[in-house]
Structure formats: structure tokens, C-alpha cells
Amino acid sequence: MNLIVDVGNTFVKFAVFEEDNLIWKDAFKLSQFRKEYKLIKKQFPKLKSIIVSSVGRLDDKDVNFLKKNLKVLELDWTTKVPFKNEYQTPRTLGVDRIALVSASVLNFPETNALIIDAGTCITYDFVTQKNAYIGGAISPGLRLRYKTLNNLTANLPLLDTEKPAGLTGNSTESSIHSGVVMGIIKEIDGIIDEYRDKYPDLTVILTGGDAKFLSNQLKNSIFANSNFLLEGLNFILEFNSK
């Protein structure tokens, strides 16, 4: 039984896997890390291994706290992975992107795949049918675009994410919604089209916090999986346990 620890800038996700099956998950503030870990240990006494993926800041003391009782794998660019990494700057490749590519290899082996993670940033990662990771792209996500319009202008308000009523906004608020949301939809569909022109057999996976909001607005067919990153982390842990 494995524990997946995915640390963001503010929140931490815990997930428990029994082999390849996700049986439990939860998210909480980083300040509650030790308290929640103790509760999980009581709830799942058969835990054996942990993988830690930290794109935020997890204190070394917290990592050492995990290591007291269980085997811990700290994911970084040197970790053994189930794909060939052809990224030219592997040291700078985010652990979240490493996990997503691993999940693609697990769920869609020997497939040309584009993984789109719609979160704070939108990341695009391409892996070939020979399980070679080439790279991708990074652009601002939904909330980042809304916040940037507000932060870097004098008069534009900060709005909650909302599906636009139409292409043409007839007020400042509706114009912002159209620009932000339609801009992202056209961006994602456009990038998918570019990849499909080159790889007609392409499989596209959409994941991340905004995946549900965006998925039914895209014209392209996709696989939506909110647990894709967690599955990738578990696969990496299992891959390193062999």
C-alpha cells in the first residue's frame, strides 16, 4: 500500500493506492501536514512506501518526519522513470510534468500522447509511441490570466471564473470572461490541432484543477482524468520498487 504526497504552494494532496487502484485521497493546507499524516497512518496501518512530489515548499523536517517509519522516495530529475527523457534541460523539468508523462506511459503505452495539465499554469507535454518525452509548452492558466488583468491594469476587476455567454462581450465583465476563457479554449484546441496534423493517431489527456470546467468547451476529443498526476506518482514509486 502506497502513500502519494503531492505538495503544492498552499495545499497538499494525499492519496492511498493499493497496487494500481486509488482507494482514498484528500487535500488540506500545508500547515496541517503532520496532523493529517498521523491520521492517515492510523486509517491505513498497512502503508509501506511513500513518494513525495513537491512543487511548493515542504520543510526538510517534514520529509524526515515521514522517513521515521516508512520508505520515502523524493521525486526529482534524477529519479528513475519509465520513459526516455529527451528534454534538453532535465534538471529544470518540473516533478509534476515528470509524473504526468509517467501516467501517460502507464495508461497509454506505445502511444503518441499529449498531456494537458490545466492548473495555475497550463502545461503541454508530448510523449512519443516509443515512450520518449520530447517536451511541450507552458502558458498562464485561467486564474493567472484573470489575476494578471486585474494586477497589471488600473481599472479591470478581478472576477471569478465563469463560462462566457458568447464570443462577443457586451460589458467589461463579459469581455474579460470571453477573452480569458475563449482565449484558453482556442489556445488548447489550436495546439491539439497542430499536434494532430503531425501525429494523426494522437491521444490527448486533459487533467488538472480546471479540466472539468474546460473539457466540455473543447471541440477536440480528449480523455479527462483528474487523478492522472497521482496515478503517475504511484507508477514511479512502483517502478523504483522493482
* pLDDT at residue 188 greater than cutoff 80: yes
Q: Which residues are catalytic?
A: 96
- DSSP E strands in the chain: the ranges are 2-7, 11-18, 21-29, 49-54, 71-74, 84-85, 113-118, 121-127, 132-140, 203-207, 223-224
The rounded distance, in Å, linking the Cα atoms of 52 and 47 is: 14
The pTM of the whole model exceeds 0.75: yes
Q: What is the pLDDT of residue 56?
A: 65
Where do you find CATH 3.30.420.40 in the chain?
Answer: 2-74, 85-233
* pLDDT at residue 27 greater than cutoff 90: yes
| CATH architecture of residue range(s) 85-233 | 2-Layer Sandwich (3.30)
Per-residue confidence band for 133, with pLDDT thresholds at 50, 70 and 90: very high
Per-residue confidence band for 50, with pLDDT thresholds at 50, 70 and 90: very high
CATH superfamily of domain region 2-74: ATPase, nucleotide binding domain (3.30.420.40)
Contacts of 170 (CB under 8 A, 6+ apart): none
Q: How many Cα neighbours within 13 Å face the side chain of 49? A: 18
* pLDDT at residue 242 greater than cutoff 80: no
Q: What is the pLDDT of residue 208?
A: 92
Report whether 113 contacts 65 (CB < 8 A): no
Looking up cell 512519443 gives 128
Would you give the distance in Å from CA 157 to the centre of its chain? 28
- Give me the amino acid identity at 185: I
pLDDT digits (tens, 9 = 90+) for 71-98: 999 999 999 999 999 999 999 999 999 9
Per-residue confidence band for 24, with pLDDT thresholds at 50, 70 and 90: very high
The rounded distance, in Å, linking the Cα atoms of 39 and 69 is: 14
Report whether 3 contacts 9 (CB < 8 A): no
